[in-house]
Amino acid sequence: MNWYDNAIIYHIYPLGFCGAPKFNDGGEVTYRLDKVIEWIPHLKEMNVDAVYFGPVFESVEHGYDTIDYKTIDRRLGDNDSFKRICDKLHENGIRVILDGVFNHVGRKFPQFVDIQEKGQGSGYCGWFQNLNFGGQSPCGDPFWYEGWNGHYNLVKLNLRNVGVADHIIDAVNYWIEHFGIDGIRFDAADCIDFDFFKRIRDFCKGKKRDFWLMGEIIHGDYNRWANPEMLDSVTNYECYKGLFSSHNDKNYFEIDYSINRQSGSNGGIYRNINLYNFADNHDVNRLASTVNNQAYLPLIYTLMYCMPGIPSIYYGSEYGIQGRKENNSDDNLRPCLNLDDMQKENTELYKHIVKLGRIYRAYPALRTGSYERIQITNQQLLFKKVLGDQTVYVALNLADYPYDFNFGTHLSGLVDVIGAKPVEVNNGNAHISMPPFSSMIIVADDIVNNEPEVQTVSETVVPDTVVEVNGRYRYYEGGEYEVTAVARHSENNEELVIYKSLSDGSVWARPKALFCGKTPDGVPVFLKI
C-alpha cells in the first residue's frame, strides 16, 4: 500500500489563497506564496499528509491558462522560493501535489504566439487541437483552433503530438527533480488522451515508485481512467454530491447507495480504487454555503473521513467559511485567508476535523477497511469498516431529535472516540443513544484519547536518531521492551521499529519517527535503559 492510500490531503488554490492580483501584468516577482510556511503547524495539527496546490505556474489570469510550465507565477514567487516551500513541507512530513494543466494553455503560451506571428510558417501548428487556416478564431486570429469547452482563452493542446508530450514530460521531470513533488492532479482529465496518460504514468512511476496520479473526472466510469495503466485515483464527484444532498434532503439512502455501488463489500465497482473524496473545492460552492443547516457540517466531515477513499479539505472549509459563485465568477470560492482571521470562525468545526484527523491516523480500518452498512433510515446511518481483526463502527444521527441504535457486535467493550465515552455492550449487543445532529466513531480501544498526541512526522526530521537493535527501552507510561529489528515498510519505505514486551513477549511495530518522538510535555515516548 502506498502513502496516498492512507493520506489526508489539504487543497489550496494559490492565487486566491495569497490574494494575488487577478491578472498577471508581467511586473515584479512578489513572494506571496511563502505564507504557506506559516500554515505548516496548522496543517500538522490537522494530520495533513499532503498539500495539493492548484496552479502555481506562470499564467495569464487564473492559473489554468498556462504560459510557462517551468516558471512559478510571478504573483506567487519564483522557482527558488517555491523550492524552499516544498523543502519545508517535506521536512515536516508533508508531501506536495501539483496541478497538471495539460489539456490547454493560455493564449500567451510561446508556441501559440509563434503561430500568431508566423502563421503557417510556424513549426508549432501541430501542437494545438484542430488548428487550421480555413477561418478566423473568435479572438480575431487568422486561423481556427479548438478552445476548451468553448473558452478560446484556453487553447487546447494536441497531446498526440510528440513534441507536445515531450514538452510536458520535460516539465514534469523538472517538477520532480527541482521541487521534489510527490504527485500530480490532472485538470480536465476526461479530455486528455489515454496514450498520454499511459506515457506519463510510466515516466513518473519510473522516477518515483510511489508517485500519485489523480485525475479530475466529473462524469463517467471511473475505471476508464483509474486503472493499472493510467491513473491511481480520480475525483469522486458522485459522492461529493451525495455528501451534501443526503443531508439536505434527509436521505441517507442516497449516499449509502453510492458508497455501496462504488466500494461495498458485496462487489463495489471501484473497490480497487481509492477515490479522492471532497466536500467542496475551487470550482463548487463552499460546503457551508450549500447545506441547509450548519449543524450538518460535522456529520458530513465524519462521513467523508470514514467512507472508503482519500479525504481532503479545501483551505478554509475546516472553519466553515462560506462562498458561492456569483455573476459567473469563482472568486468567492477562492478567497485570501489569514489564520488569525480564521480562528474567529467556526472553531468547533475545526476542533472536530482535527479530532477526525487523529482518529483517521489511529485506525487503519477507517483508512482502507471494507464498508458494510448495518442499519439505515432516512436520517440515521450505522456502518462498519473492517480491516483484518480491526472493526470500527460509524454512527450518524441527522435528525433534530435523539436516536438510539442497538446492534450486535463480536467485541466485548466499545468506546466512542469522538466523545471519549464508553458504549454499553451486553451479551454481544451494543446500545448507543445519540443526541440530535451527532456522529460517533466506535472502536474497541481508545488510543486517541488515552495516548499522547505524538508528533507524526517523517523520519527526515530525526535523521540522526539511532535505535539500537537488542537494546532495551522503557515506555514513558511504564513497561519495558526490547527492540528486535528496524525494518522498512514494503510499500512506502517508512522505517519501522519492531519491539517485544519483556513482560509477556507480545511483539509490536511502530514508525521510527513515533518511537523516537516526544509527548507534548517533551517526555521521550521510549527511553533507552
Q: Would you say 300 and 287 are in contact if contact means Cβ atoms under 8 Å apart?
A: yes
* Degrees, nearest 5: CA angle 363-365-369: 160
> CA-CA distance, 475 to 498, in Å (whole number)?
14
Residue numbers of the chain with a pLDDT score lower than 70 = 451-465, 489-494, 520-522
One-letter amino acid for residue 134 of the chain = G
Q: How many CB atoms lie within 10 A of CB 506?
A: 9
* Dihedral sign computed on CA atoms, order 370, 372, 378, 380: negative
Q: Which residues contact 354 (CB under 8 A, 6 or more apart)?
A: 45, 46, 47
According to the model, what pLDDT value does residue 71 have?
A: 98
Coil vs helix vs strand at 450: helix
Alpha-carbon gap, residue 405 to 424, rounded angstroms: 11
Between CA 249 and CA 251 the distance in angstroms is: 5
C-alpha cell at 384: 462498519
How many residues are recorded in the chain? 529
What pTM value is reported for the model?
0.86
8 Å CB contact between 473 and 483: yes
Do 391 and 385 touch, CB atoms closer than 8 A? yes
Q: Using alpha carbons only, give the angle 134, 139, 141 rounded to the nearest 5 degrees.
A: 40
pLDDT at residue 515 in the model: 85
Which helix (H) or strand (E) element contains residue 197? helix 194-207
Task: State the cell numbers at 38.
Answer: 506559516
Q: What are phi and psi of 19, to 5 degrees?
A: 70, 35
The vertex-398 CA angle with 395 and 399, nearest 5°, equals: 120
Residues in a beta bridge with 57 = 72
Phi-psi sector, 381: left (phi>0), alpha (psi -120 to 50), beta = beta
Are 23 and 35 contacting, i.e. CB atoms less than 8 angstroms apart?
no
Q: Which three cell numbers stand for residue 418?
A: 469522538
d(CA 502, CA 478): 12
What pLDDT does 520 receive?
A: 61
DSSP H/E element including 300: helix 297-306
pLDDT of residue 452: 53
Q: Where does 377-494 show beta strands of DSSP type E?
A: 380-387, 390-397, 403-408, 414-416, 421-426, 429-434, 438-443, 472-475, 480-488
Please state, in angstroms and rounded to a whole number, the distance separating the CA atoms of residues 125 and 85: 37
Please give the Cα distance from 300 to 280 (Å, whole number).
Answer: 11
Nearest-angstrom CA–CA distance, 459 and 222: 35
Quick one: cell of 354? 482535527
Question: Is residue 69 within 8 Å of residue 168, measured between CB atoms?
Answer: yes
* List of domains in the chain: 104-158 (3.90.400.10), 367-447 (2.60.40.1180), 459-528 (2.30.30.320)
